[in-house]
Chains A and B, each alone.
Chain A
Amino acid sequence: MFNYLVRRIFTSILVLFGVSVLVFSVIHLVPGDVTMAILGRQKVTAEKVAALREQLGLNDPLYVQYGRYVSKALRGDLGNSIRTNQPVAESIAGQMPSTFALAMSALVVALSIGGLLGLLAALRHGTWFDTLIMSLSVSGLSIPTFWMGLLLILLFSVKLGMFPSISNGSSPAQLFLPALTLGLPEAAVTARMVRASMLDVLNKEYIITARAKGLPQRLVIFKHALRNAMIPVVTFIGLQMAYLLGGATIVETMFARQGIGRLAVQAIYNRDYPMVQGVVLVTAAIYVLINTLTDITYVMLNPKIRLK
């Protein structure tokens, strides 16, 4: 167990190192110069450009710039935004709660709707209801997020006037439409997952035994089947959480919500190097952290893996 943990954490660090190198190089390799983006098109003199490059440390070799970046990042200093001159770490921390609230509420949507429908579909396996749920889940998976969001806005904001079309903060009314937009495709995946897992378990011999013993259906389902069926689903939640954090970008843009996804998009438009690096690094770190935790949880739940 300990060995596994050490190995797992070591590979996580390796991944983060890879991400930082990649992000750092890619943004330096694309054509165009950040000083131009800052100074704009008017009356830029060569001296101004040179002075600014010096000030931003852009004249140093790339590996020096990278080394400086990493050593600062390890101390929690991700530099200052080139555009607003605000500390990057502070900007990300300011936007994080909003993205987190969105991802969490989308997860609730995914699990409650997806879990319930998946369970019902499994129990009514092979009936028209099962077919309907599965068809809906295919369309749920196929509809792009921005289109889903538009339809929801059209219905709930423009036609019914129930929820705001621009969202701010983390109250239920503000989160309803964004969470639904982000959560519905995930609910579709969850429904299929729960259904498959549940069907698998329901055909197990111990369930047949439980039924043969004459246990009531309620007990068979909730005590024996559901518990075991949930194991793969629980590990799946971890991966989904990471996916939801990434998927928040489109939803944040659609609803003009605060969040790190939108922060990243703006930073890319602005060629705001430190901001792009910071957001990608932090997002990657969260991704890696969640994945590592998921793996560790899985090992705890399923001792078979530990032995390998």
Chain B
Amino acid sequence: MKNALLKTLSVTLLIGLLLTACGGSAPATKPAEQPTTAATEAPASATEAPAATEAPAAASGGTLTLGVAIEPETLDPGDAVFVQEQFILMNLFDSLLSVAPDGSLHPGLAESWEPNAEFSEFTFKLRQDVTFHDDTPFKADAVKASFDHIVSDAVLESGGKSLLQDHKYVETVVVDDYTVTIKFGDSYPLFLRDAGRQWLGISSPTALEKSGADYGRNPVGTGPFKFVEWTAQSQIVIERNPDYKWGPEFATHQGPALLDQVVFRILPEAATRLTAFETGEILIASEPPALDAVAMVEAGKASLQNFAQPGIPAILMINTTKAPTDDINVRKAMILAVNQDELAKTAFQSLGLPAYSVVSPSTWGYDEKAAEMYRYNLEEAKSLLEKSGWVDSNGDGIREKNGEKLTIDWPDNPAWSEAFNELLMGYLKEAGFDVNYRSMDDGAAYEELLAGNYTLVYMYWTRPDPSPLRSLFHSENNNGGGAWANFVNADLDTALADASTNTDENARKADYAKAQQVIMENALALPMFTVNTSYLTAPAVQGFGFDLEGYPFLYDISIAK
């Protein structure tokens, strides 16, 4: 009897224990949330002002630990492609120019510069007081070695390589120790701005030669921080360069960086980053889950730094050579059926802004007229479809025409679209579309695109200007080259070709405006939202600001004691 009672008691106790455990404030988790690499070109400059916080503390020092989602593949600027690499590279390397958050050009490793009339040759006068982290003096040969390294066969495919090759890089000529001329076969009006990007950061020629194929794991630059160590799947550590006195003139301080050391902790799981932020193990968390981030900010435990990226916002390119979207009415109906306002609010907690055009509003050359053509209007979407003969004859909610369903084929890697794809498909279904979402990985999806088996292609591309429009919409890139709409229009091609070579800024702007209008008039893409980068920062983090590409500008950051 006694035994039985005790048995019952112990079981009750156990259940109680379990219930208490379950009822606690368990953190919201999304197992296996972050995949590895972003299929995007890394972000570039913005016309956004930096998100200035408090003035930086006079006191310097301390270690800043950041949680980053993705481990870099290399720290060789010339070999780098991905966003996560740029964020670390910008601290290790300087480029010829510095570009301020407002997009203006400032001296970097070059004191002055002079393009020729065609903007195909650029001569730089270099600073004479700069040394690399390995004590190699910085001279013109370093610029030549770095640029030659980028276009060499050692680099298979990289951001820097495509920048240079797209404009037919010819050579770098060492004029004297502190003068260098970089020559292109094409006119390259945007080169000066690109020369400020991390991808074209200058490496120590000694280190390039010494490390060879291992240079990506032993980077040596002139930046405000020196590389210390990279422990695979764990962390990357960099420390202050005490000799640094060539920082950009637009920074809030001069001289060495304020922090002693920065640790980039690699935390692929969003839930893990959030927990580590809560416990104070990291002071900055990149890409926090929107809901939790907003909750933490409301609880006063953190600030949220949010940056709307310029360039091509998140869009779905529409195949104009495949039925049913070879019909302009169907394409227009798709755009009208989607409520971008609601989409941005629901999927991204208003951290993302709605996009109405193929260029995001913070971009140089953004055209307002193109962005005013479509606003959510379900009735108009329906009537356009009816006008083209698409009606729901059997009452299943999906429209048909000649026995064919109004089917949209979308092969996609859900890693890129999981935040919004169901919502989006809901809008389209409302208008009578049958969306065939086919979930697969990047490689498989790409094969489907090359085979032409798609209606929609998800895309975003961060750049300070609308230049990716040429890769995405010029007919020279049709049928597998990246212009997935496969649309042919002489006006569009002329505008895009002229915009990338014309040296007159206003003419280029007019070209891009024309291009945006033609693209939207012909409904070649369904705009959705602007892509954002966001960071949660602890109250102790001071001086947080974004550089023009949307990376935290660590040089000016300090930790309050």
Contact = CB atoms under 8 A, between A and B. Distances in A.
B281 A164 contact: yes
B233 A32 contact: no
B444 A158 contact: no
A146 B480 CA distance: 42
Interface stretch (B23-31, B170-178, B291-299): B23-31
Interface string B267-278: 111001001101
A128 B272 contact: no
Given A36-B442, A139-B18, A161-B279, A168 B234 contact: yes
Contacts of A150: 26-27, 29
Interface string B37-52: 1010100000000000
B266 interface: yes
Given A43-B481, A45-B481, A139-B14, A154 B27 contact: yes
Interface string B436-455: 00001111111101000000
A192 interface: no
B39 A166 contact: no
Contact of A270 (B32, B37, B67): B37
Contact of A131 (B6, B21, B459): B6
Given A132-B14, A266-B36, A266-B233, A41 B31 contact: no
A131 B268 CA distance: 41
A50 to B, nearest CB: 13
B421 interface: no
Most chain B C-beta atoms within 10 Å of own C-beta, residue among A136, A157, A263: A157
Nearest to A91: B232
B258 to A, nearest CB: 25
B267 A256 contact: yes
Given A127-B3, A258-B233, A153 B275 contact: yes
Given A165-B275, A256-B266, A128 B10 contact: yes
Nearest to A150: B26
Interface string A247-288: 000000111111100110110011100000000000000000
Interface residues of A, number: 60
Given A41-B39, A158-B275, A131 B10 contact: yes
B279 A165 contact: yes
Nearest to B11: A135
A157 to B, nearest CB: 5
Nearest to A49: B450
A6 interface: no
B443 A157 contact: no
B482 A166 contact: no
B228 interface: no
Given A131-B7, A153-B275, A165-B276, A258 B231 contact: yes
Given A31-B440, A135-B14, A166 B272 contact: yes
B443 A32 contact: yes
A68 interface: no
Contacts of B218: none
Interface string A145-167: 01000110110011001001110
B162 interface: yes
B289 to A, nearest CB: 15
B283 to A, nearest CB: 13
Nearest to A260: B233
B279 A43 contact: no
Given A84-B74, A150-B27, A128 B7 contact: yes
Contacts of B18: 139
Nearest to A161: B279
A146 B233 contact: no
Interface string A88-121: 0001001100000000000000000000000000
A37 B446 CA distance: 9
Of B3, B162, B275, B481, chain A has the most CB atoms within 10 Å of the CB of: B275
Contacts of A212: none
Nearest to A40: B39
Nearest to B72: A84
Contact of B26 (A33, A154, A269): A154
Contact of A31 (B81, B266, B444, B459): B444
A85 interface: yes
A165 B272 CA distance: 8
A257 B482 CA distance: 38
B488 interface: no
Contacts of B31: 146
A84 B214 CA distance: 10
Nearest to B70: A266
A1 interface: no
Contacts of B232: 86, 91, 94-95, 258
A299 interface: no
A166 B276 contact: yes
A52 interface: yes
A95 B233 contact: yes
B9 interface: yes
B58 interface: no
A46 interface: yes
A37 B442 contact: yes
A43 B233 contact: no
Contact of A166 (B3, B267, B444, B480): B267
A117 to B, nearest CB: 14
Contacts of B480: 46
Given A36-B443, A127-B3, A132-B14, A254 B26 contact: no
Contacts of A157: 275, 279
Contacts of B477: 43
Contact of A128 (B6, B35, B269, B459): B6
Given A41-B442, A43-B482, A271-B441, A254 B157 contact: no
A189 B14 CA distance: 18
Contacts of A127: 3, 6
B235 to A, nearest CB: 7
A38 interface: yes
Nearest to A151: B21
Interface of B: 3, 6-7, 9-11, 13-14, 18, 21, 24-27, 29, 31-32, 35-37, 39, 41, 67, 71, 73-74, 81, 156-157, 162, 213, 216-217, 231-235, 265-269, 272, 275-276, 278-279, 281-282, 440-447, 449, 459, 461, 471, 477, 480-482
Given A31-B443, A165-B276, 8 more contacts: A36-B443, A40-B81, A43-B481, A136-B14, A151-B26, A164-B279, A258-B233, A266-B36
8 contacts: A31-B447, A33-B443, A41-B446, A41-B482, A44-B482, A86-B217, A151-B21, A265-B32
Nearest 7 A/B pairs, CB to CB: A32-B443, A128-B6, A32-B444, A36-B446, A132-B10, A36-B443, A269-B36
